[in-house]
Amino acid sequence: MFSSFSIPSLNSTLDLSLQQKIDHKTKPLGSLGALEHIAFRLGKIQQTLTPDVSKPKMIVFAADHGVVAQGISLFPQEVTPQMVMNFLQGGAAVSVFCQQHQVPLRVVDVGVNADLVPHPLLGVRKVAYGSQDFSQHAAMTSKQVALAIQAGVEEANDAMDDGVNLLMFGEMGIGNTGVSSCMMTVLMGISAQDSAGRGTGLDASGVSHKAKIIEQSIARAEQETGQTMDCWSAQTLAEQVGGFEIIAMAGAMLQCAQRQTAFVVDGFICTVALLFAQKVSPNVVEYAIFAHQSHEKAHSRLLKHLKADAILALDLRLGEGSGAILAYPLIQSACVFLNCMASFESAGVTDTQGDKS
């Protein structure tokens, strides 16, 4: 299934023209800072000197996790469907921020352990009623991995077929910070102590317990597969310690990149989804815009590993796409300055900087 993704490296044909256009706006060189980098990246992804993000969409993938039974979260599993309904009813942070910025929101059930009430904003692509407790068994079957990936691919395709030119991703699933930490441990070859964080508010003892469960789960999986974690394929990793919403997000990211569409990466969990997608097809990272550096302790290490600069650093640790939607106005502004701001020539302003592109 993963072999179907063939993502090229970004074309550099327009690089010089984009940089010249940025540098010849009526401003000192580099004075718009990160906005200039965003504008350049969007132009390169869309292969245009006039990038456009006027039709965005937020997709939040939701699922439950069997490993929650091991006490890795402060909140019980029934909070997942409760929060999904809160999203749909417009009461969650991501909901109100999407309303503020007039960005359509879609919530996709890929593995919530409940039957949700139908709603116009709800997409139902349920793979199962939650993953298995991966401290005891593999998290999912090969078929379930395929279904989760396909859920993300189809959601991304539906959006892009409708003209969406910027996708933002979020997630909901009690315990998914622990699942992400486990996946990060495997993907980066680091210790569970280095990847496990507070999540929704664990104390030091809770974080230590989470790290212990991660270690036990990886040891169980290594014994079951007969391979050390550094030898696992993307398929094996997903089966053994993945989460449905994380794998679905990865599928959506891969499909965006395959169709040369930029996507916005939210916080820690969403970045782990990208790290997994990178294992499938390394060039997928070139199509990503990183919204923020979260307060989750391992996120800065993850961003450094991906050589990524996040737009915001607001000590957020909410998830659900909240950081991605908060970054959207700045992404808009990057397009506005590149498309609408006067050049020295058009404004009749002397350019004392010369052509340093």
Annotate 182-232 with three-state secondary structure: HHHHHHHCCCHHHHCCCCCCCCHHHHHHHHHHHHHHHHHHHHHHCCCHHHC
CA-closest candidate to residue 167, choices 119, 103, 124: 103
User: Which of 51, 159, 52, 64 minimizes the C-alpha distance to 105?
Assistant: 159
Q: What's the Cα-to-Cα distance from 13 to each of 18, 44, 98, 286, rounded to whole Å?
A: 10, 9, 35, 15
Q: What is the DSSP letter of 68?
A: G
- Enter the DSSP assignment of 116: P
Given 155, 239, 296, 320, the catalytic residue: 320
Question: CA-CA distance, 98 to 194, in Å (whole number)?
Answer: 33
Q: Which residue has the tokens 């070859």?
A: 189
Active-site residue, 155 included: no
Copy the structure tokens of residue 103.
């960005």
The catalytic site residues sit at 320
